[in-house]
Structure 1
Amino acid sequence: MNGGRLSAGLLEEAGRLHESLVRLRRTIHRHPEGGFAEFETAALVEKTLAGLGIPSFRVAGTGVVGRLEGTRKEPAVGLRADMDALELDERTGASYASEVPGLMHACGHDAHTAMLLGAAMLLAERKESLEGTVVFLFQPAEETIGGARPMIDAGVLENPRVEAVFGLHVGIGLPCGKIAVSPGTVHAASDMFDITVTGKGCHGAYPHEGVDALVAAGHVLCALQAVVSRGIDPLEPAVVTIGTIRGGSARNVVAESARMQGILRTLSPEVRGLARETIKVVSERTAEAFGARAEVSFQEGYPCLENDPEMAALVRETGSLLLGEENVHDLSKPSMGVEDFAYFSRERPSAFFTLGAGNPAKGIIHPAHSPWFDLDEDALPVGAAMLAAVAANFLQGR
């Protein structure tokens, strides 16, 4: 597929939007909002789209969908950006740092939103050349319970039917001006689980009269470390993490109950099912060995994010045209982090790529979810141009 016609000059034009994109990003950064509470951000998105003549509407509470129709209504292609912030106190000291205690854009969603608005600016200028419709998907709540599924359930991929969806995420480990993309599984699936261990409370002086739930829980915690190391094929990635353990009421009382919270991350449905069952069996039987009872419950999280080979190839080709082949890389390995763009990838052929935003010379070295996280804002026009170009190139000739 030759996307040169609608890629030509796009990066240079995006560069002229640099100041506007930085302003948008910093406005969003100063006013972070949590999942399904992105009211100011959604309003800013709507106002910006309206200024471009792009109609929009709300879905899933704070989600915003804009539709730019070119020379025909169909085919349609989707571009997605997440908008929510993290529960974190910012420590960067930047002039545009968060003004909301306990909330921070520490994962780049402010930049994602600004870049998708930049793509809308670029494509609005090329409306008469677009061979279909571009659907802009501004999504809430990626960091919490997930906003992608509610948007899909609300019908954002229909009328017109969206045939493919593209998205990106900034990467500090990749220098600004580069992208990375690969076909296949690129992000893990996750499952949250809770384990409640119940024993029998008693006076701490007479432990033989009770069943110590903390002792049983401690052994469960240790036994779970073998779920991956001894229960899963060493060539199959999986991570079991116990993040919290709470129990007991006083130093001289044998605890009657203890609760653990954990998360499972896997890259295949087979391993996911096996690991879930093993966690349950190990927990129950280990607690039983100490005279206690363990109850295990799971809450299904995001699925694996799968990049369609053809869509990933289109991102790679577009990146080569726009940035040069030397600036397009393979993802070295899948991430065990989760990403609810996965729901879009389950519904339509999709591709999710990493946009380089790191720059050690500027001190841009801290990873996502760090209170010191920041990004090289020179990446903003690059991301805007990539999103615009890949959408235009998808529509071309279909």
Structure 2
Amino acid sequence: MTQPVKWSWNEALNDTLFGIRKHLHQHPELSFQEHETQKYIEKILDDWGIPYQTITDTGVYVDIEGAEDGKHIALRADIDALPITEKSNVDFPSQNEGVMHACGHDGHTTILLGAVYHLWQHRDQLKGSVRCIFQPGEEADGAAEQLIQAGVLTDPQIENIIALHVWPKLPLGTIGTIKGPVTASCDDFVLKVHGKGGHAARPYEGIDALAITHEIVQALKFLETRVLDPVKPHLIHVGKVEGGQSNNSIADEVVVEGSVRTVDHDMRKEIEAHFTRLVKETAERFGGNVDIEYINGHPPVINDDEITDQLERSASQIVGEDNIIDLGQPSMGADDFGYYSEQLPSTYFRLGISEDHETTYDLHHPQFKFNEQAIIYGAKIFTQYALDMLR
């Protein structure tokens, strides 16, 4: 039987990690603008005497080499913030007006730093290496894909990767896991529906782009509920419709924006094909035409069974088996970790942050906040997983 990895958590580091998180929370930066965040991460690593490398404009990664050859694995944390004005009432609020860590990435970054510190201290126990990736731009499209293209998974070739996300729907001290799909793809669309303007008193002389848009929206609902397999999770959402000049004129152009989500790669392709055909046919049937911009965004995050099993075994040593919760079904939210899960066996788990005595706000809410003790749970789990995988 394989012997458990012997390592100890440095309790004296806790206050340092809490201070790091507070600094990051006070100085949030938007996607691809994380220059000061990058410098701060580098400063912490310099203070600890841990070497690192930069990648793309604002990314950082740390390679921790073990004493012997073995597997090459990766841990990932996202570092960017959101264009949200903070209303959390914490005593260390954002100092960057209109920008907030409303998705917990300040916690994710601190968690990975805590794991880096301990893995560096215990690197003599590793057989192989662990790459710790501080990734910019998760809230924007394509950041993970850019890092992959820049070689973040090569030299050495990474064999598996994990990530976490704080989760207000689970209690503090628990994690949530699932095998298979865990988050959805997110593709965006912009439609420009063209008609022919005219006077509202003589609608037969014009082609009403607003009326055509109504028919397109109804057609998309038909696609969502009557064409696609209802057993496979999917959403087609129209979030913005803009057009028309006045109350007594016929609209000659309407712009429609929305998103499409699914947790299945094949259905993702199927939806796009049906979407394009149906939208064009509907516009033409009513005398108009439409320009379609269909933007492929994040792929779904799909967890590997074996990597998830190992993550659960490692996490059980930190939080206990009873505190590992089956998520049951995927979320229709998205995360660009899907680009990694397309390339490698991976798992993406939820880190509980809710407390009975506190009102817990959802991700991206201006009042979002979490107990800093979640940072310790997350960092310990990351560390335990890496040591177990490379023992």
Quickly name the TM-score band, shorter chain normalised: over 0.9
- Structure-2 residue corresponding to 1:275: 271
SS of alignment partner, residue 228 of structure 1: helix
1:262 matched to 2:271? The reply is no
Q: Match for 1:300 among 284, 296, 305?
A: 296
SS of alignment partner, residue 347 of structure 2: strand
| 1-structure distance, mates of 2:157, 2:211 | 56
Query: What residue identity is the alignment partner of 2:38?
Result: A
- Structure-1 residue corresponding to 2:72: 76
Q: Match for 2:136 among 123, 137, 140?
A: 140
| 1-structure distance, mates of 2:126, 2:70 | 10
Q: Describe the superposition over 1:105-147 as per-residue Cα deviations: whole angstroms up to 9, x where unpaired.
A: 1111110000000101111221222222221100011111131
Could you tell me how far 1:3 is from its partner in structure 2? 6.8
| 1-structure distance, mates of 2:161, 2:49 | 22
The answer for unaligned runs of 5 or more in structure 2 is none
CA gap 1:256/1:225 in 2 versus in 1, 3 angstroms = same
Q: Match for 1:336 among 322, 332, 336?
A: 332
Q: Describe the superposition over 1:140-180 as per-residue Cα deviations: whole angstroms up to 9, x where unpaired.
A: 11111131111111112222222211111111111111112
| 2-structure distance, mates of 1:391, 1:5 | 10
- Structure-2 residue corresponding to 1:226: 222
| 2-structure distance, mates of 1:267, 1:67 | 32
Please say which of residues 94-103 and 15-24 is displaced more in the overlay: 15-24
CA gap 1:106/1:222 in 2 versus in 1, 3 angstroms = same
CA gap 1:149/1:253 in 2 versus in 1, 3 angstroms = same
Query: What residue identity is the alignment partner of 1:278?
Result: H
| 2-structure distance, mates of 1:206, 1:178 | 64
| 1-structure distance, mates of 2:73, 2:40 | 23
Query: What residue identity is the alignment partner of 2:22?
Result: R
User: How many residues are aligned here?
Assistant: 391
SS of alignment partner, residue 298 of structure 2: coil
Could you tell me how far 1:67 is from its partner in structure 2? 1.4
Query: What residue identity is the alignment partner of 1:384?
Result: A
- Structure-2 residue corresponding to 1:127: 123
- Structure-1 residue corresponding to 2:318: 322
Task: Report % sequence identity.
Answer: 36
1:152 matched to 2:176? The reply is no
Query: What residue identity is the alignment partner of 1:56?
Result: Y
Query: What residue identity is the alignment partner of 2:232?
Result: E
CA contact (8 A) 1:3 1:393 kept: no
Query: What residue identity is the alignment partner of 1:117?
Result: L
Query: What residue identity is the alignment partner of 1:269?
Result: H
Displacement over 3 Å in runs of 4+: none
Q: Match for 1:374 among 359, 369, 375?
A: 369
Query: What residue identity is the alignment partner of 2:275?
Result: I
Could you tell me how far 1:74 is from its partner in structure 2? 4.6
CA contact (8 A) 1:74 1:160 kept: no
SS of alignment partner, residue 5 of structure 2: helix
Could you say what the CA RMSD is over the residues aligned between the two structures, in angstroms?
1.6
The answer for unaligned runs of 5 or more in structure 1 is none
Q: Match for 2:162 among 143, 162, 166?
A: 166
Q: Match for 1:107 among 85, 103, 108?
A: 103
- Structure-2 residue corresponding to 1:394: 389
- Structure-1 residue corresponding to 2:60: 64
- Structure-1 residue corresponding to 2:36: 40
SS of alignment partner, residue 360 of structure 1: coil
- Structure-2 residue corresponding to 1:202: 198
| 2-structure distance, mates of 1:64, 1:105 | 19
CA contact (8 A) 2:115 2:379 kept: yes
Q: TM-score, normalised by structure 2?
A: 0.96
- Structure-1 residue corresponding to 2:5: 5
CA contact (8 A) 1:140 1:146 kept: no
Q: Match for 1:180 among 144, 152, 176?
A: 176
1:285 matched to 2:281? The reply is yes
Query: What residue identity is the alignment partner of 1:388?
Result: T
CA gap 1:245/1:389 in 2 versus in 1, 3 angstroms = same
Query: What residue identity is the alignment partner of 1:228?
Result: E
- Structure-2 residue corresponding to 1:247: 243
CA gap 1:159/1:74 in 2 versus in 1, 3 angstroms = farther
CA contact (8 A) 2:194 2:288 kept: yes
CA contact (8 A) 1:74 1:161 kept: no
Could you tell me how far 1:190 is from its partner in structure 2? 1.8
Please say which of residues 164-173 and 90-99 is displaced more in the overlay: 90-99
Please say which of residues 374-383 and 128-137 is displaced more in the overlay: 128-137
